[in-house]
Structure 1
Amino acid sequence: MTTYVIRAKYFGYNDEVFYVTGNRISNVFQDQAEAEAVYQKLEAEGARDFALYEVESLFDADEATLKQLDEFIFSRCGEHIYQDGEVSRDVLPSSLSDADTFSFVQMAEMQKFQLVSFEHEVKFYGLWSTKKQQWLEEHDEFFAGLIYAESPELLKDKIESIFADYDYSDIELAGSLESLSDQPILLKALIQVEYALSYDEDKQILNIGLWQNEALYAVNALLKQPLFEIKQIELAEIQRLEQELAKMHSYDEDYEYDEE
């Protein structure tokens, strides 16, 4: 049986645009048609939450893209969203149909939701902190959320969150290369080619540079005691933790996910 999961994106504001700060599960469905209908409705409704000139994808778009998007809107409802080199300071025209609004959202890459399907069982993967023995979270002044994705590869860009376990500074691991790794020769070779890694022979300290994700990811695989693990996390566990985070950080205190 296929399961469909809708994840809602949450946004912060940086004085210029609204940017994605995190996401959480919004709905769970067993029926594809129902899931797609709800997803499209949510996107159409959410598209008018922000003034267009404050939408990150439009703010970063080049003139050719903005003209193409404007032509689409004008062809559908006779109104412009881009004139004289400026994006409209208003929201999308109310005269634009929900179907056309959904199409525009996809064209402009301004999605507020994500629809993910799983063929047999729901499989999400999270980042596990071996130091704190808990799932890693991402924090922003506007949002706090669990770090997880539908495939392990999508988490590579999120591993910088492990630096929070080390007070946002370089990570220092004490010990000989032999005590740190079952493959000390490979570890030494990696240190020699990776500028963000260094090893003090006298002090026997391995240093991993702050925010150096690629170095952290590479060296972690060689450590006897990894700094993080990418593990499968159950849907029920995600829902429980997201509700706890919502209460803990006082956003959407009445938050409940919808399961159809």
Structure 2
Amino acid sequence: MTVYVIRAKYFGYNDEVFYVMGNRIANVFDNQAAADEAYKRLEIHSARDFALHEVESLFDASEKELQALDDFVFSRCGAHIYENGELSRDELPESLSDEDTFAFVQRAEMQKFQLVQFEHEAKFYGLWSVKTQQWAEEHDEFFAGLIYAEDPEQLKGKVGHIFADYGHSEIALQGSFEELSSQPGLLKALVAAQGGLGYDEQKQALYIGAWEDEALYAVNALLKQPLFEIKEIGLEEIQRLEKELAKLYSYEEDYE
């Protein structure tokens, strides 16, 4: 049975724009038409309630890109959103139709939701901390969530969160190359080639620089005792843990 999962993006704010901080499961469907319609309505509703100058993709857009978006809006409803070199409206025009609002969301890459399709059961992959023996989490001032994705490759850029388990500082691993890895030659070559890694022969210690995500990801696969794992996490487990996090941190959404 095909499963359709809608994930809602949650945002942090850096005094300029809202940026994507994490995701949560918003709804699950076994019918594509129902999933498509629900996703579409969510995006349209959110787009009408999102201050344009605080959308990260628009904040970072070039003049050419903003002008193209303005041309699209003007051609559909006769109103401008970009004039004299700056965004001229806080929100999209009310006269912009639902269909065109949804099209604008795609053009502007300002999606607040993600619709993921699975041909059988929903299968996600989470970041597992070996040190804490727990699923890794990401935290912001107004958000805490699990770190997971539908494709393990998407977690490469998230492994830096493991540094939180080590005091947000560099990680030191004691031992010779032979003690640390079943492939000591490869480990030694990686340390020599990869920025962010270092080895102290006198102290017999391997160092992974703080928040050196690429170095951490690369070296982890060669360690006898890896610092993290990327493994499957079930949909029900995700939903259970997300509700616990929402309750623990008293988020505005319902968690009953």
TM more than 0.5: yes
Partner of 1:32: 32
- Secondary structure at the aligned position of 1:50 is classed as coil
Partner of 1:197: 197
Q: Where does 1:130-141 land on structure 2 (aligned, <5 Å)?
A: 130-141=130-141
Instruction: Name the amino acid aligned to 1:102.
Output: F
Partner of 1:251: 251
Judge conservation of contact 2:82–2:89 (CA < 8 Å) in 1. no
Partner of 1:148: 148
Judge conservation of contact 1:58–1:66 (CA < 8 Å) in 2. yes
CA deviations on 1:108-150 (whole Å, 9 max, x unpaired) are: 0000000000001211000000000000000011211100000
Instruction: Name the amino acid aligned to 1:139.
Output: H
1:89 Cα offset (Å): 3.7
Task: Indicate whether 1:54 and 2:54 are aligned.
Answer: yes
Q: Which runs of 5+ in 1 are unaligned?
A: none
> When the two structures are aligned, how many residues end up with a matched partner?
256
Task: Indicate whether 1:185 and 2:185 are aligned.
Answer: yes
Partner of 2:233: 233
Distance in 2 (alpha carbons) for counterparts of 1:46 and 1:218: 38
Judge conservation of contact 1:124–1:232 (CA < 8 Å) in 2. yes
1:19 Cα offset (Å): 1.1
Distance in 2 (alpha carbons) for counterparts of 1:131 and 1:37: 42
Partner of 2:114: 114
Partner of 1:99: 99
1:177 Cα offset (Å): 1.2
CA deviations on 1:209-257 (whole Å, 9 max, x unpaired) are: 011111111110000000000000000000001001101111135236x
Judge conservation of contact 2:176–2:204 (CA < 8 Å) in 1. yes
Task: Indicate whether 1:124 and 2:120 are aligned.
Answer: no
Instruction: Name the amino acid aligned to 2:225.
Output: Q
Distance in 2 (alpha carbons) for counterparts of 1:163 and 1:178: 24
Distance in 2 (alpha carbons) for counterparts of 1:99 and 1:195: 48
Task: Indicate whether 1:79 and 2:79 are aligned.
Answer: yes
- Secondary structure at the aligned position of 1:25 is classed as strand
TM-score normalised to the size of structure 2?
A: 0.98
Compared with structure 1, are the counterparts of its residues 96 and 251 closer, same or farther at alpha carbon in structure 2 (3 Å cutoff)? same
Distance in 2 (alpha carbons) for counterparts of 1:66 and 1:253: 33
Instruction: Name the amino acid aligned to 2:246.
Output: A
Distance in 2 (alpha carbons) for counterparts of 1:12 and 1:212: 22
Q: Which runs of 5+ in 2 are unaligned?
A: none
Distance in 1 (alpha carbons) for counterparts of 2:154 and 2:102: 25
Distance in 2 (alpha carbons) for counterparts of 1:167 and 1:90: 40
- Secondary structure at the aligned position of 1:230 is classed as strand
Partner of 2:159: 159
Judge conservation of contact 1:12–1:142 (CA < 8 Å) in 2. yes
Distance in 1 (alpha carbons) for counterparts of 2:252 and 2:54: 23
Runs of 4+ in 1 over 6 A off after TM superposition: none
Instruction: Give the aligned CA root-mean-square deviation in angstroms.
Output: 1.0
TM-score normalised to the size of structure 1?
A: 0.96
